[in-house]
Structure 1
């Protein structure tokens, strides 16, 4: 088990180094930082100081090493568009994206898991058929269409929720949150549900498929032959076997929520990392784009690592196999 943990951590570090190198080459080969960051009347001393600040006077591999060490120390470089520290820009937008991802995942867990269990345990009921019919819309309709429909119904027609912005936020040290105010919760409901709609569809359909498959397995038949109740058969034996792929899906979907919230944040004018990335693409702000790619890669790898390491906790048989 320990060797497996060490192996997975080393693989994660290696992949993050590869992602960092790709981002570094993106910064090094695209754009002219001196032409963008220096004013037209800049002196030679200012030019040399910026060259030293950006490590442009070093060999390529040494610059990459300085780039990696700078990231580890919190130095993410300068934005071409605003000439601000990229780390400060990321830190300013991060709370909004994290809260949106958290609420979206919470909606997915609360709604999709019970719906998936119902559809798997009783697939022929009218409610299960209705859930599966509605879930088709979650697959076929793009996020921006769902977002626009929600705005039209709940913001324009009913006036229940705001159509843009984050609402009133509260500062907790260096962190800002809207989850402590009523307007913050009102503002996050529609974008969070828009993001969750696609994830809920996958979780419902996967959990339903897994439960229906497990329900016909030998050990479930044996449990029924022993005279166990249907509730105990499904909720003690069947669901445990269906949880592993579901947990994997939830972990990957959390990464998707953070990485691909660009469209949803744009529709709702949500001040998160997705909207920052979109602005950076429109203005060719290469350093911000590169750091965003590293951040997304790190999120995916760390979530994937956490999911894999949680498998033995869900199913102890895996712990014995890896021993």
Structure 2
């Protein structure tokens, strides 16, 4: 187990270093930080001082080493657009994105998994066919269409949920949360449903396919021949055999929710990292874009590491295959 864990952590560190280098190249080769940080009437001396301050006169590898050192110390650079530290912008926006991702994942788990199991166990029932029809719609429609439709119904027509913003928040020191207020919960419902729609439909279809395949396997047929009750067969043998791919996909879906919340946050004016990323692209704010890419890469790698480390706990045979 220790060897397995060490190898996975080592692979994660290597990939994170590669992602950091790509982000550094983005910072180093796109845009002109001098024109963004200096005024139009800046003197030659001011320009030279800024070049020295940013280390632009150093070789590429030395600059990457400085970039990595500063990054590990929490110095993520300065935003071209706002002239504020990138770390400050990330910390301010992070709670909104994390809470939106958390609530979306809760919706995905408590809706997608039961519906997927039902469709896999009862693939020919009318309810199952209706769920699969819904899943086709959820996969086909883009997030922004779903979001606009929800706003039109629940905000415009029924006027029961807000169409933008995060609602009232409560400061807990380093963290501001909207999950402790009524308006915060009202504000998060529509964007969370929008963001989880594709994830729910994907999990439903994957679980249904997995269970239908497992249901035709030899050990399931043998269990039926022994007279094992159908409930035991499905919920003890079949579902257990689908846990590894389901956990893998849930982990990846969490990464997708965080990484691809840009459109949803923009539709609902949600003050998270996704909207910050979109604003940075529009303003060519390269430092923020680079740190966002590192953040997203780190999220995917950490989630993937956590998922892989959970495999031996679910199925000890994984260690014997390594």
Greater CA drift, 66-75 or 32-41: 32-41
1:254 matched to 2:289 = no
Q: Is the 8 A contact 1:240 1:315 kept in 2?
A: no
> What are the superposed Cα offsets for residues 70-114 of structure 1, whole Å, 9 maximum, x if unpaired?
111110001111111011101110000000000000000000000
SS in 1 for 2:176: strand
Partner of 1:182: 182
Greater CA drift, 241-250 or 201-210: 241-250
Partner of 2:314: 314
Q: Is the 8 A contact 2:4 2:319 kept in 1?
A: no
Cα distance, 1:45 vs structure 2: 5.4
SS in 1 for 2:211: helix
Relative to the length of structure 2, the TM-score reads 0.97
How many residues are paired up?
Answer: 322
Partner of 2:268: 268
Cα distance in 1 for partners of 2:16, 2:97 equals 21
Cα distance in 2 for partners of 1:175, 1:46 equals 38
SS in 1 for 2:171: strand
Partner of 2:4: 4
SS in 2 for 1:291: helix
1:108 matched to 2:108 = yes
Cα distance in 2 for partners of 1:51, 1:86 equals 19
SS in 1 for 2:39: coil
1:199 matched to 2:216 = no
Relative to the length of structure 1, the TM-score reads 0.97
Following superposition of structure 1 onto structure 2, how do residues 89-168 of structure 1 map, counting pairs within 5 Å? 89-168=89-168
Q: Is the 8 A contact 1:54 1:77 kept in 2?
A: no
SS in 2 for 1:220: helix
Cα distance, 1:14 vs structure 2: 1.1
SS in 2 for 1:180: coil
1:223 matched to 2:217 = no
Q: Is the 8 A contact 2:251 2:307 kept in 1?
A: yes
> What are the superposed Cα offsets for residues 258-280 of structure 1, whole Å, 9 maximum, x if unpaired?
11111000000000001000000
Q: Is the 8 A contact 2:169 2:176 kept in 1?
A: yes
Partner of 1:288: 288
Cα distance in 1 for partners of 2:213, 2:164 equals 43
> What are the superposed Cα offsets for residues 18-59 of structure 1, whole Å, 9 maximum, x if unpaired?
111111111111122122112234455544443333222321
RMSD, aligned CA: 1.2
Cα distance in 1 for partners of 2:58, 2:32 equals 16
Cα distance in 1 for partners of 2:248, 2:204 equals 14
Where does structure 2 lack aligned partners over 5 or more consecutive residues? Answer: none
Where does structure 1 lack aligned partners over 5 or more consecutive residues? Answer: none
Cα distance in 1 for partners of 2:124, 2:311 equals 31
